[in-house]
Amino acid sequence: MKQIKTNAFAELLLRLSEEINDILRANLYEIGLDENEVNRLKKKKQDLRQALQNCGIGDSSAKNYIKGTIKNILAQKLLVNVDEYEKIIPFSDKYKLSVREKFDIILFLYQKKYKNEAMEKIIDETGVLDTLNEGGDDSISVKSSDIEKVFDGCFRRLNDNEKLDIIVQRLYAHFRGLGVIDDLRDMKIEGVSGGVSGRKDEFNSVWILFKGINIHLDFLSFESEGELERICMNIYRFGSPGQLSMSKGYIVNEMKDNSRVVVVRPPFAESFAFFVRKFDTVEKKSLENLIVDEGFEIVCDVLKFIVKGCQVTAVTGAQGSGKTTLLMSLIDFIPKGYTLRIQEMAFELHLREIYSDRNILTFRETDYISGQEGLDIQKKTDGTVNILGEVATSGVASWLIQMSQTGSLFTMFTHHAKTTDSLIKYMRNSLLSNNVFTNEGVALEQVVEAIRFDVHLEKNIYGHRYVERISEIVPNANTRGYEIRNIIEYRDGKYVKCANFSKYCIDDIRKHLKDSEKEEFDEKFNISV
């Protein structure tokens, strides 16, 4: 058997690929096996082919199957033994290890101890967030020197099985996995993206979203445009969403583990790039655990009675500000007898997994069914409450206004508006652009009658999320046609009650409450009936 040359990782990868192709191409009837053995090997080939199709798209079982196959091939076919491990990765001499190899070793060791929280521990130990907390540079980057520091603190002699596991993961990542982000994508982070920084001939463009903070992993490189392109062309494939091509320069899809993935390519984008938004960090939390700053009690009370009182509510804010998490927690206050219908661009909330005993069904847009069509179908599914994961198009916005007035009992939705004024104007313009109304004043009137509250979320430079304000939209006869009344504001690190609900809103909330809830509502908001 041909021996592995020093630093011949690429050669080993090529030989591995050839061995797997030989397994898939083998004619089992030519080697004189009995029928039972032929059937066993046919099943093995089918399982291998299926796993090769599913790995790299968030399917952990397929990934583990392929890694097990690689391990067997190394031992049984390529005869890679313990003496040759050092020729592949110089484990025993830390001065010969590249920064990428050191990171692979760190991540492996931390995964054994911390599982999918390994990257969080690594970030903590680099200390890169300390500069942000101390008022330093607000551009966060993990550099080679940071990885060197963590490596020096955790390096120990690895046993032969550990060395083999690291080699297998490295081979898998470049054979059918996601390259330098393969294990990183599986960590408990909020997202990972690639191809989004540097000159076109540089590939140190891996970023992660961690606790609301964008962090550049400056030490990681895709090494070539071909490797970045390979990852982009594979990461979105779950569910066969179509082909990324020059004529179709972007695809929005989900991965097997429900992560959202967006992939773009030239000429639509200046380079190949991908954006993975993970939702395993989005956990259902009670409002008391989610809203933690001083004065949180009044915020929780306002939100609770907005939902129990069946008020049409927008949850607004930038990406990463916590809209999905807050919306998920508000479901607790919707009476269990109400049916919920959810419309999303991609499945993100997964409310049925959290509220498995409730009447919930989620729809999403596809290449053939628009958000508008999906919402039209919802009218025929006996939905009491409509939840829109994101109002991102004028058609959906227009439908929301119409449905809020004539369809479901109430609606909750998310939007990226920065102010309540901009939210109202966006909705008004959506009605006009979709020819629902031609008169601007009439369109505005419909919006301010339909949407009652704007709960606006913010995230500061340190990644701390908070409710910046809770605003009631009050229709009136002034020049603008409405008044924005801030019920709650976030000031100097604490929540302050600025106003009470309007008389119209109080009456509308109370008619949806149980008698015991009315008493609590009246007491907490000083309401005289």
Calpha distance 484→487 (Å, rounded): 9
pLDDT at res. 319 = 83
Instruction: Report which of 416, 384, 455, 406 is spatially closest to residue 318, judged by C-alpha positions.
Output: 416
Cβ-count burial 213-249 (b if 16+ within 10 Å, e if not): bbbbbbbbbbeeeebbbbbbebbbbbeebeebeeeee
Are the beta carbons of 508 and 309 closer than 8 angstroms?
yes
Q: What 3-state class would DSSP assign to 124?
A: helix
User: Comparing 69-73, 360-364, 519-523, which segment has the lowest mean pLDDT?
Assistant: 360-364
Residue 2 in this model has a pLDDT that exceeds 60: no
Q: How confident is the model at residue 282 (pLDDT cuts 50, 70, 90)?
A: low
Is the domain covering 9-277 a CATH 3.40.50.2020 domain? no
Q: How confident is the model at residue 371 (pLDDT cuts 50, 70, 90)?
A: low
Q: How confident is the model at residue 377 (pLDDT cuts 50, 70, 90)?
A: confident
pLDDT at res. 48 = 94
Superfamily of domain 287-524: P-loop containing nucleotide triphosphate hydrolases (3.40.50.300)
Are the beta carbons of 320 and 459 closer than 8 angstroms?
yes
pLDDT digits (tens, 9 = 90+) for 387-417: 888 888 888 888 888 777 666 789 999 999 9
Calpha distance 63→169 (Å, rounded): 10
Residue 3 in this model has a pLDDT that exceeds 50: no
Q: Report how far Cα 239 is from the mean position of its chain's Cα atoms.
A: 18
Query: Residue 511, CB half-sphere, CA atoms under 13 Å: how many?
Result: 7
* Overall average pLDDT of the 376-385 stretch: 78
Arithmetic mean of pLDDT over the chain: 89
Residue 15, number of CB atoms within 10 A of its CB: 18
More confident residue, 44 or 8: 44
pLDDT at res. 513 = 95
pLDDT digits (tens, 9 = 90+) for 169-188: 999 999 999 999 999 999 99
DSSP-assigned letters across all residues of 323-389: HHHHHHHHGGGS-TTS-EEEEESS----HHHHSTTS-EEEEE--SSS-HHHHHHHHTTTT-SEEEES
* Overall average pLDDT of the 51-62 stretch: 93
Domain assignments of the chain as residue spans, ordered by start: 9-277, 287-524
pLDDT at res. 374 = 72
Calpha distance 252→262 (Å, rounded): 5
